[in-house]
Amino acid sequence: VLTKIISFLEQECKGIAIEPMVVGVSGGPDSVCLLDLLIRSGKSIIIGHFNHQLRPDARKEADMVSKLAARYGFPFVCGTKNVKEYAKDNKISIEEAARKLRYQFLFGQARLLKSPAIAVGHNADDQVETILMHFLRGAGLSGLKGMSPVTHLNEFDQEIHLIRPLLHSWRSEIEQYCQENHLESVQDMSNYDKTFLRNRLRHSLIPDMETYNPAFKLALMRSADTMRGDLQMIEELTDQFWTSAFMEGDPGYLSFNLDILQRADAAMLRNLTRRAVTYLKNSLRDVSFEAIERLVRLVKDDKSNSARIDLADGLFVFCEGNRLFITQSYSDIPDRDSPQVMQPAVICTGESLQLVGDWELLMELVDLTDLEMITSNLDPYQVWMDADLIEEPLQVRCRQEGDRFQPFGMPNGKMLLSDFFINVKLNKRSRGSWPLVCQEDEILWIPGYQFAHKYRVKETTTRSIHMQLRRSPGR
Amino acid sequence: VLTKIISFLEQECKGIAIEPMVVGVSGGPDSVCLLDLLIRSGKSIIIGHFNHQLRPDARKEADMVSKLAARYGFPFVCGTKNVKEYAKDNKISIEEAARKLRYQFLFGQARLLKSPAIAVGHNADDQVETILMHFLRGAGLSGLKGMSPVTHLNEFDQEIHLIRPLLHSWRSEIEQYCQENHLESVQDMSNYDKTFLRNRLRHSLIPDMETYNPAFKLALMRSADTMRGDLQMIEELTDQFWTSAFMEGDPGYLSFNLDILQRADAAMLRNLTRRAVTYLKNSLRDVSFEAIERLVRLVKDDKSNSARIDLADGLFVFCEGNRLFITQSYSDIPDRDSPQVMQPAVICTGESLQLVGDWELLMELVDLTDLEMITSNLDPYQVWMDADLIEEPLQVRCRQEGDRFQPFGMPNGKMLLSDFFINVKLNKRSRGSWPLVCQEDEILWIPGYQFAHKYRVKETTTRSIHMQLRRSPGR
């Protein structure tokens, strides 16, 4: 086992800084063995223990690890949280809560102590059980590849490495090592409520599978190693594709070039989607097969611009023109191009009103001298209306339930504003805060699109209200 | 089920010719259902049945399928072979023999009848069982992806498609369909000696796994679909890499640029290796994880030029200079550059001897006028030797066990020819047939390398034998 661990540190950790490393020690055989081996291999170490407060003996176990640290003469850090409470408060399983709080503690300590790596005691049997659990729930490559010997847990830290030096050592080897070296340990509690499932796998399903292939566990380990390499190849391809398809994004949203997505095959889209969810959520935990297939169909579907589909954990996907967006909320997407009204406001002649998105609305009273110029105006961001029909101040607001509008050129009746927006193909995302210039309940002008028929400048009109929506100067 | 099959034919078979298709009908529920569905969907069909002669009722089953064909009014072709005998003769399992002979028959008929596709009745349960078998033996992506709905079996034919329209239909759906449509069937025998294993999986392991995840079978199907896409991505990458690393090859061997291989990562080498084995063997059946890892190490190892490693089923790998070769036999690799002696021959002055590889050996007697010119000769493909010591004809042969040689510049003793070859770094592959010019048992000249010390031209020499090995003119 010592030879294995030394070759692990030499080969898998080649070229990455791992010292001083925080070693997560629960007090179970795996972590006690790992600690002993790492100390023998001469590494610089900080011993970390997290008390999950899940068992009556938890306190004693912490003491035991503390004494162990003292005996070895290495620094010891200890943390604790009420895992049960945290699970309840966050509506997650106890196992999930335990994992989260434990890693939060270990990564937090590593950051504090400027440690570039955390070592944990997962062994080959844990690996087999993990892969089998993924297999049972129908995971793809990313699950069947199992745990990685050297990896990052981006949800906790993007820089600090997580290393698993015992990943190719069997539980029996570890127990033998502990016995031969008189290492005391407690029962390992790192997998609390999975214990029942793991125990069933360990004592029932895996032995059963070994009757089909006595070398099943070894075969699975090898297959995982191979698939880890394959996944890496796919990830590199996905990287390249991401680079070619990516348009914009920040921690709150991502947008991709829809044309490029449409030319890709389904497998690539699936991998891009998984990557995108991981990027936005720091984890892939909640994305289902169906959700990913929905996205694939959305992209391949010609009607992509009318749909919005749920992806995972609050994320949704929609298309806008040539772009596909993934986000948790429309408001996470900076609307750099559209004018937006956040709060209703009023405007009078001679004033200018600042709108979100670096736009401003101007209003002035003008004498009509050149009717021709006005009627031939093709700029939808400017309007001239009959001043005699208008009573200041005008309201500037966004749409309201039931808004209707009588566009210029439609002498009779009014249409639903929602229908008008659909007709002019205004982005769904922009409709909610698009500025409307109103007089009482009546919409006079929809900047960028159309003004109300009734307020048009006629031959008899002498004075006109001129309004303009433009980018704020000096921007 | 009919809807599924129609959408299968529309989607999966889009853009490929599948009619008229040969439908493999064993008489079991799957194939009987498949046949009925394909006929209802209006396809042009030829019914094919292969009699494995494995059961007492085999003959009756063939009759039943024949009558079925007559009832439907479609052409019927039937073949038979003694599977047991074939298995014994070829030292393969009965299941393997049955598969091979059955597909040989079906593909043979398809070729004869100019049919572009063969349809077989594998169902979703078969798929789950197949994947599980691969999982138990530790397969990678290519096994875990399961059977493909549309594929080629290159070992039988490179053009004709094999399609599996029922691959997403469960056995229960198929049985229900047979019942509702009063379709008679016999017990399916397509998996003869695997029956025991499959039965165990079907009745024991899979139900057991469903206690962990009731939707296990569906989950596995989905995961297979995803992995099939991932594998395709990897295969495209492997294609590109193959193109960049490939140097030469034919059905008997492949050679790749070693420098390019050395820059690739292990996952890519593994995939290239699998592809190469499939290319040379038309199947990947015998290549083990260890064999592939040996190749990866060989490539990464600096001493690659001294090793020869076994790969699979008689294939081996060796490196030569800047190349890595994969072959079953050195003689499968055309030795375009080296002169080769296939049969011992003799040569006299004034003659020329043709050697394999478009080389010729010339011999002439010359008067010595310019000793300086001779002693300053730097061309190892020409030699001048003391004619007084030589008795014609000279023998030209390849090496023999125990050959020794006294190279020029070594006045005393002889060295083993094998050591000489190693010293001068002649390719292993070329050593066996390299031409040696001999007088009785004594090697006078090794063209391209050195002549024997004793036969050197001395100041007292008056007449000399001049020999030359050169590319045949007019080539």
pLDDT exceeds 60 at position A284: yes
In chain B, the percentage of residues whose pLDDT exceeds 90 is: 49
Per-residue pLDDT band at A375 (split at 50, 70, 90)? confident
Pairwise CA distance, residues B216 & B218, whole Å: 6
Contact residues for A440 (Cβ-Cβ < 8 A; gap 6+): A395
Q: Which pair of tokens denotes residue A209?
A: 């599978």
Mean pLDDT throughout A256-285? 87
**In angstroms, what CA-CA distances link B18 with B73, B114, B149?**
20, 11, 13
Closest-CA residue in chain B for A218? B138
pLDDT exceeds 50 at position A475: no
What is the full DSSP assignment across A322-383?
A: TEEEEES-GGGS---SS-B-SS-EEE-TT-EEEEBTTEEEEEEEEE-S-HHHHHT---TTEE
Q: What is the pLDDT of residue B405?
A: 93
What's the pLDDT tens digit per position in B246-259?
998 888 899 999 99
Do B65 and B47 touch, CB atoms closer than 8 A? yes
Pairwise CA distance, residues B306 & B317, whole Å: 11
Q: What is the pLDDT of residue B304?
A: 57
Per-residue pLDDT band at B193 (split at 50, 70, 90)? very low
Residues of A in contact with B141 (CB under 8 A): 141, 226-227, 230
B284–chain A Cβ distance below 8 A for any pair: no
Closest-CA residue in chain B for A230? B267
Question: Cα(first)–Cα(last) distance of chain A, in Å?
Answer: 66
Who among B138, B212, B219 is closest to A223 (CB)?
B138
To the nearest whole Å, the CA of B275 is away from the closest chain A CA by: 14
DSSP-derived secondary structure letter, A165 = T
Do B407 and B452 touch, CB atoms closer than 8 A? yes
In chain B, the percentage of residues whose pLDDT exceeds 70 is: 95
Mutate to test the interface with B, among A7, A11, A135 (most CBs of B within 10 A): A135
Closest CA to A331 of A309, A355, A357, A369: A357
In a 10 Å sphere around its CB, with 0-12 CB exposed, 13-18 middle and 19+ buried, how is residue A406 labelled? buried
Interchain CB distance below 8 Å, B233 and A234:
yes
- What kind and span of H or E run contains B418? helix B417-423
Pairwise CA distance, residues B37 & B26, whole Å: 15
**Cis ω before B393 (30° cut-off from 0):** yes
Interchain CB distance below 8 Å, B267 and A220:
no
B174–chain A Cβ distance below 8 A for any pair: no
Q: List, in sequence order, the alpha helices (H) in B78-164.
A: 83-90, 94-112, 124-136, 141-144
User: For the CA atoms of chain B, what is the radius of gyration?
Assistant: 32
Do A180 and A12 touch, CB atoms closer than 8 A? no
Closest CA to A208 of A130, A132, A278: A132
Residues of B in contact with A213 (CB under 8 A): 136-138
Does the predicted TM-score (pTM) go above 0.80? Answer: no
To the nearest whole Å, the CA of A132 is away from the closest chain B CA by: 10
Who among A137, A197, A223 is closest to B219 (CB)?
A137
Residues of B in contact with A289 (CB under 8 A): 222-223, 226
Q: What is the pLDDT of residue A122?
A: 94
What mean pLDDT, rounded, does chain B reach? 88
Who among B197, B201, B289 is closest to A222 (CB)?
B289
Closest CA to B293 of B269, B318, B317: B269
Pairwise CA distance, residues A191 & A179, whole Å: 23
Who among A212, A221, A268 is closest to B233 (CB)?
A268
Mutate to test the interface with A, among B201, B212, B287 (most CBs of A within 10 A): B212
Who among B197, B204, B223 is closest to A139 (CB)?
B223
Closest CA to A361 of A429, A441, A427, A448: A448
> ∠ at Cα A219 (A230, A164), nearest 5°?
65
Closest-CA residue in chain A for B132? A135
Interchain CB distance below 8 Å, A205 and B215:
no
Closest CA to A437 of A415, A411, A416, A465: A465
pLDDT exceeds 90 at position A22: yes
Do B191 and A105 touch, CB atoms closer than 8 A? no
Closest CA to A27 of A75, A69, A65, A71: A65
Q: What is the pLDDT of residue B72?
A: 92
Closest-CA residue in chain B for A217? B138
In a 10 Å sphere around its CB, with 0-12 CB exposed, 13-18 middle and 19+ buried, how is residue B243 labelled? exposed
> ∠ at Cα A89 (A86, A94), nearest 5°?
45
Q: What is the pLDDT of residue B285?
A: 66
Pairwise CA distance, residues A433 & A40, whole Å: 65
Question: Cα(first)–Cα(last) distance of chain B, in Å?
Answer: 66
Who among A136, A137, A141 is closest to B141 (CB)?
A141
pLDDT exceeds 80 at position A334: no
A199–chain B Cβ distance below 8 A for any pair: no
To the nearest whole Å, the CA of A181 is away from the closest chain B CA by: 33
Closest CA to B265 of B300, B236, B292, B232: B300
Q: Among A157-171, A326-340, A404-418, B339-353, which is the least confidently predicted range?
A: A326-340
Q: What is the pLDDT of residue B343?
A: 87
Q: Among A211-220, A291-300, B209-218, which is the least confidently predicted range?
A: A291-300
Mutate to test the interface with A, among B130, B226, B231 (most CBs of A within 10 A): B226
Partnered with residue A250 across adjacent β-strands are A253
What's the pLDDT tens digit per position in B165-186?
999 999 999 999 999 999 988 8
Mean pLDDT throughout B371-398? 86
- Amino acid, single-letter form, for residue A475: R
Pairwise CA distance, residues A306 & A192, whole Å: 46
Pairwise CA distance, residues B332 & B316, whole Å: 12
Per-residue pLDDT band at A401 (split at 50, 70, 90)? confident
Closest CA to A77 of A33, A118, A16: A118
pLDDT exceeds 80 at position A444: yes
pLDDT exceeds 80 at position B429: no
Pairwise CA distance, residues A357 & A272, whole Å: 30
Partnered with residue B246 across adjacent β-strands are B256
Mutate to test the interface with A, among B222, B237, B265, B271 (most CBs of A within 10 A): B222
Closest CA to B278 of B326, B229, B225, B330: B326
**In angstroms, what CA-CA distances link B187 with B49, B126, B195, B206?**
14, 15, 11, 21
Do A457 and A384 touch, CB atoms closer than 8 A? yes
Interchain CB distance below 8 Å, B215 and A270:
no
In this structure, the number of other CB atoms found within 10 A of the CB of residue B71 comes to 8
To the nearest whole Å, the CA of A195 is away from the closest chain B CA by: 14
In this structure, the number of other CB atoms found within 10 A of the CB of residue A151 comes to 12
Q: What is the pLDDT of residue B81?
A: 92
Phi, psi angle pair for A378, to nearest 5°: -110, 0
Interchain CB distance below 8 Å, A138 and B268:
no
DSSP-derived secondary structure letter, A399 = -
Pairwise CA distance, residues B159 & B449, whole Å: 50
B154–chain A Cβ distance below 8 A for any pair: no
What's the pLDDT tens digit per position in B59-69?
888 999 999 99
B234–chain A Cβ distance below 8 A for any pair: yes
Q: Is A434 helix (H, G, I), strand (E, B) or coil?
A: coil
User: For the CA atoms of chain A, what is the radius of gyration?
Assistant: 32
Closest-CA residue in chain A for B131? A135
In a 10 Å sphere around its CB, with 0-12 CB exposed, 13-18 middle and 19+ buried, how is residue A328 labelled? middle
A88–chain B Cβ distance below 8 A for any pair: no
Per-residue pLDDT band at B474 (split at 50, 70, 90)? low
pLDDT exceeds 50 at position B25: yes
To the nearest whole Å, the CA of B82 is away from the closest chain A CA by: 29
Do A146 and A224 touch, CB atoms closer than 8 A? yes
Q: Report residue B232 CA to chain centroid gap.
A: 21
Contact residues for A353 (Cβ-Cβ < 8 A; gap 6+): A345, A347, A360, A361, A363, A396
pLDDT exceeds 80 at position B337: no
Q: What is the pLDDT of residue A154?
A: 84
Pairwise CA distance, residues A417 & A420, whole Å: 5
| Pairing of β B404-405 and β A436-439 | unpaired
Residues of B in contact with A235 (CB under 8 A): none
B265–chain A Cβ distance below 8 A for any pair: yes
Pairwise CA distance, residues A118 & A160, whole Å: 7
Pairwise CA distance, residues A165 & A229, whole Å: 18
Interchain CB distance below 8 Å, B136 and A209:
yes
Residues of B in contact with A222 (CB under 8 A): 138, 289
What's the pLDDT tens digit per position in B82-111?
999 999 998 888 888 889 999 999 999 999
Q: What is the pLDDT of residue A68?
A: 92
Q: Is A262 helix (H, G, I), strand (E, B) or coil?
A: helix
B64–chain A Cβ distance below 8 A for any pair: no
Who among A208, A213, A237 is closest to B208 (CB)?
A208
Q: Among A420-434, A438-452, B429-443, which is the least confidently predicted range?
A: A420-434
Interchain CB distance below 8 Å, B270 and A226:
yes
A302–chain B Cβ distance below 8 A for any pair: no
Q: Which residues 109-138 of A have a C-beta within 8 angstroms of B?
A: 135-138
Q: What is the pLDDT of residue A33?
A: 94
| Pairing of β B117-119 and β B21-24 | parallel
In this structure, the number of other CB atoms found within 10 A of the CB of residue A123 comes to 26
Pairwise CA distance, residues B227 & B233, whole Å: 10
Closest-CA residue in chain B for A267? B229
Q: What is the pLDDT of residue B467?
A: 93
pLDDT exceeds 60 at position A192: no
Residues of A in contact with B265 (CB under 8 A): 229, 232-233
Q: What is the pLDDT of residue B133?
A: 93
Who among B135, B226, B234 is closest to A270 (CB)?
B226
What mean pLDDT, rounded, does chain A reach? 87
What's the pLDDT tens digit per position in A25-82?
999 999 999 999 999 988 899 999 999 888 888 888 899 999 999 999 999 999 999 9
Mean pLDDT throughout A421-433? 82
What's the pLDDT tens digit per position in A221-239?
999 999 999 999 999 999 9
Residues of B in contact with A242 (CB under 8 A): none
Q: Is A300 helix (H, G, I), strand (E, B) or coil?
A: helix
Q: Which pair of tokens denotes residue A423?
A: 């007709």
Per-residue pLDDT band at A189 (split at 50, 70, 90)? low
Mean pLDDT throughout A260-287? 86
To the nearest whole Å, the CA of B298 is away from the closest chain A CA by: 17
Q: Which pair of tokens denotes residue A230?
A: 């394959």
Who among B138, B228, B265 is closest to A220 (CB)?
B138
To the nearest whole Å, the CA of B264 is away from the closest chain A CA by: 11
